[in-house]
Chains A and B, each alone.
Chain A
Amino acid sequence: MDITEYIQLVFTDYTLRTITLGTAILGAVTGMLGSFAVLRKQSLLGDAISHAALPGIAIAFLITGAKDSNTLLIGALISGLIGTFWIRGIVSKTHLKSDTALGLILSLFFGFGMLLLTFIQKQPNANQAGLDKYLFGQAATLVESDVWTMAIVTGICLIVMLTFWKEFKILLFDKDYTKTLGFNTKIIDILITVFIVLAIVLGLQTVGVVLMSAMLLAPAAAARQWTNSLSVMVFLAAIFGASSGILGTAISASQNNLSTGPVIVLVAAVFVAFSFIFSPSRGLLFRQIRFIKNRRDLELHKTLTFMHHIAETHEDISHPHAIKLLNNFQGYTKNTLQKLVDKNYVQLNGNMWSLTKTGFETAANLYTKQSTKDE
């Protein structure tokens, strides 16, 4: 199936269109809110919350006896929030650290949810099948109304985020300052947390509890590498999230036996790996290149100083010396020597080199200069 054909199919096929739209919106909203989670150093909160949502789904089902996805999501939202606030309680009131609190809530809530799910499965209610789709998510079960819910929640998120942008931003980077300015940090804090929980809960049906944390983190972590500005980061994260959703859906649709959730997560992981390596300012590749370049420069300096030491012993600073003399000094290569020639510090004459006047002066002042021009 080629690409144009696929794109055509996206527009004509109901299921594919719904899933593509759903995953794209989901990716965008989780990317946006994930940026806040990552910057607040609450990356793993997403993992904990998504697991903690499971008992809520089960209890909502036990109470209503219906599999309406909205009621189940409300249950998930409530139990996710309980989990979040319990984590905070543990961290603030006891000496247990946040990692322990997260792991505790995650595993305990999830275990309790499993107990309830297996308990439900034994009940004589024919309606119960399919609850376990929330474990790993099944994008194929998305229907148009789910996409509408997502779109509405995303819209609310956007409005709230734009309205409170200043507050969110300032709380993110300087909590104490926010307090002294008279903002109610508690309310802003709760607002952000509620929206993060909401985004996680929305994604449960599509990618499931296990992989939801990656949806929250990966786009944001990738976006972080390209910019230092919050607004750009949020925007980029939304784009990365949406693209992983669309691409992931496309890849899983074109193959048999590929569930959408894991593919989306892997696509997002590829985005992250790409950003880690190729981001111009922070990326590993350019960092390594800069590293090598700096080392070359240092070696060039070393060679120049060495030449200077030799030249000093002669009355005529431009007295030629054999290149061989430099051999017992490791710092030079043909390239660096050529560079020195290009800068007019050194003159090469067959196998001999000699310092020029500028070269001699530069070398003499090399380590005393306050600011070095790039050389």
Chain B
Amino acid sequence: MSSAQLEIQLIACIVAVACAIPGTFLVLRKMAMISDAISHSILPGIVVGFFITQDLNSPLLILLAALTGIITVVLVEYIQKTGLVKEDTAIGLVFPALFSIGVILIAKNANDVHLDVDAVLLGELAFAPFDRLFINGTDVGPKSLWVVGTILLITITLLILFFKELKISTFDKGLAASLGLSPAIIHYGLMSVASVTTVGAFDAVGAILVVALMIAPAAAAYLLTTDLKKMLALAISFGIFSAILGYWVAHWLDASIAGSITTVLGFVFLMVYLFAPLKGIIAVMYREKQQRTEVSLLTFLLHLKNHDEVEERHVNHLNEHINWQKVRAKTVLDLALKNNMILIENNVVSLTKKGNDFTSKAIDYIITNEDAQIEDMKDDFFLFRG
């Protein structure tokens, strides 16, 4: 591994971490699309900044562009406040307009600007190690490494300093306001961090990857945990993992590093989306099936309790009476048997004492409108779940 390769991976990792932190809060605050809007609308800021500074890594340019990001947020909120359109429409109106201005500015000055839209949108990480920073003539590493490193430091410092405030205002705005923390300041602070991160990172990885790095790790982490600290840690690890693996995939395919990191991120999210133990799609589907069987079981037991007559409780009769398909009837019957809730003698089904207790309790809950309690009760009664 050459030093350039090492540097690229280092930059990618730092960007991943710097994005994951604000990203987690954006996802929790339901403002994920704002990051997309910012990533597009910083373009005019970058172009104007570039006219002034002639250097894509200058701090002034980053500030100017970040300012455009904040203007976007303010504009979106202003339009939303007029009540003329909904919030998402406001976002969708503002950023394409700003982005168009940026594209036109670039096109009109194509001769004097070494900047093209593809580069802004997609970035090229592979070139990052060649743009080096010299202090007094000594080479101290790639410029973008310093830029994103500084941004990461600032982000982490702010996170540690304002962790409590961020947490409260994210989950309970009202409480935050009544405790005297200003939700508005935190909101705009977060937006500023997101803007600065986007601008700092676009040069290295491109605007779209910034969005992916902000949202995807946080979304995947959110499916795995509901603890904010764990979620942050998970999001950061997903980001780093995808950055490194993505680099090597790109190396192997000889394709865009940003694109490949995003693809790995997509793969990570897909895996979590499918296999997350509690919130994953498979777990959800399994739980839904389980619920369905258990509800059927309850209906079945209620039916048994209501009918003492032997003919109503005959296995064959049940099948047609409750109108279930054979398979489902068999699953329900087996489940009830396994849990010792029914007895079958001569093809006649009857409730055991345990089955009787369970059913009476369930009826109590149903008539007092506390259906939710049945869920807890199931844990006490069931040896096997549906």
User: What is A's interface to B at a CB cutoff of 8 Å?
Assistant: 38, 41-44, 46-47, 51, 89-90, 93-97, 99-100, 102-104, 106-119, 122, 132, 135-136, 210-211, 213-214, 216-218, 221, 224-225, 257-259, 261-263, 265-266, 269, 272, 276, 282, 284
Residue of B nearest to A108 (CB): B266
Q: A258 with B32: in contact, given A44-B88, A266-B97 (CB under 8 Å)?
A: no
A-B contact pairs, 15 of them (CB 8 A): A42-B88, A44-B91, A94-B281, A102-B33, A104-B212, A111-B212, A111-B265, A114-B262, A115-B262, A210-B96, A258-B108, A261-B103, A262-B107, A266-B100, A276-B84
Judge whether B92 and A104 touch: CB under 8 Å: no
Q: Which of B36, B97, B266 contacts A47 (CB 8 A)?
A: B36
Q: Complex: how many Å from CA A320 to CA B368?
A: 73
> Nearest Cβ in chain B — how far from A83, in angstroms?
11
**Could you say which residues of chain B place their CB within 8 Å of the CB of A110?**
208, 212, 262
Judge whether B103 and A259 touch: CB under 8 Å: yes
Interface residue B86 (Cβ < 8 Å from any Cβ of A): yes
Judge whether B265 and A108 touch: CB under 8 Å: yes
Q: A262 with B253: in contact, given A100-B32, A107-B36, A111-B209 (CB under 8 Å)?
A: no
Q: Complex: how many Å from CA A134 to CA B89?
A: 24
Interface residue B27 (Cβ < 8 Å from any Cβ of A): yes
Query: 15 other contacts beyond A114-B259, A210-B99, A259-B103, with CB at 8 A cut-off?
Result: A38-B89, A43-B85, A43-B89, A44-B92, A47-B36, A96-B219, A96-B222, A96-B223, A97-B30, A100-B30, A103-B36, A115-B263, A118-B255, A257-B107, A269-B96
Judge whether B121 and A210 touch: CB under 8 Å: yes
> Nearest Cβ in chain A — how far from B171, in angstroms?
14
Interface residues in B1-42 (C-beta closer than 8 Å to A):
27, 30-33, 35-36, 40
Interface residues in B95-109 (C-beta closer than 8 Å to A):
96-97, 99-101, 103-104, 107-108
Residue of A nearest to B105 (CB): A262
**Could you say which residues of chain A place their CB within 8 Å of the CB of B215?**
100, 103-104, 107
Residue of A nearest to B36 (CB): A103
**Could you say which residues of chain B place their CB within 8 Å of the CB of A100?**
27, 30, 32, 215, 218-219, 222
**Could you say which residues of chain B place their CB within 8 Å of the CB of A108?**
212, 216, 262-263, 265-266, 269
Q: Complex: how many Å from CA A213 to CA B250?
A: 30
**Could you say which residues of chain B place their CB within 8 Å of the CB of A216?**
92
Q: Complex: how many Å from CA A269 to CA B79?
A: 13
Judge whether A132 and B118 touch: CB under 8 Å: yes
Q: Which of B260, B262, B273 contacts A107 (CB 8 A)?
A: B262
Judge whether A262 and B103 touch: CB under 8 Å: yes
**Could you say which residues of chain B place their CB within 8 Å of the CB of A262?**
99-101, 103-104, 107
Q: A93 with B211: in contact, given A115-B256, A217-B89 (CB under 8 Å)?
A: no
Judge whether A114 and B208 touch: CB under 8 Å: yes
Q: Which of B86, B96, B107, B250 contacts A265 (CB 8 A)?
A: B96
Interface residue B61 (Cβ < 8 Å from any Cβ of A): no
Q: Which of A90, A119, A213 contacts B96 (CB 8 A)?
A: A213
Judge whether B30 and A99 touch: CB under 8 Å: yes
**Could you say which residues of chain A place their CB within 8 Å of the CB of B27?**
96, 100
Q: Complex: how many Å from CA A261 to CA B84?
A: 26
Q: Write out, one digit per residue, whether chain B residues 95-130 have a CB within 8 A of any chain A CB (1) or not (0).
A: 011011101100110100000011001100000000
Interface residue B374 (Cβ < 8 Å from any Cβ of A): no
Q: Complex: how many Å from CA A179 to CA B148?
A: 52
Q: Which 10 A-B pairs have the closest CB atoms?
A: A111-B262, A214-B96, A115-B259, A114-B259, A107-B212, A262-B100, A108-B266, A118-B256, A103-B32, A269-B97
Q: Which of A94, A114, A122 contacts B284 (CB 8 A)?
A: A94
Judge whether A217 and B253 touch: CB under 8 Å: no
Interface residue B73 (Cβ < 8 Å from any Cβ of A): no
Q: Which of B93, B107, B222 contacts A217 (CB 8 A)?
A: B93
Q: Which of A119, A211, A258 contacts B255 (CB 8 A)?
A: A119
Judge whether B256 and A99 touch: CB under 8 Å: no
**Could you say which residues of chain B place their CB within 8 Å of the CB of A97?**
30, 32
Q: Complex: how many Å from CA A257 to CA B109?
A: 9
**Could you say which residues of chain A place their CB within 8 Å of the CB of B222?**
95-96, 100
Q: A113 with B259: in contact, given A43-B92, A94-B273 (CB under 8 Å)?
A: yes
Judge whether B273 and A90 touch: CB under 8 Å: yes
Q: Complex: how many Å from CA A221 to CA B76?
A: 14
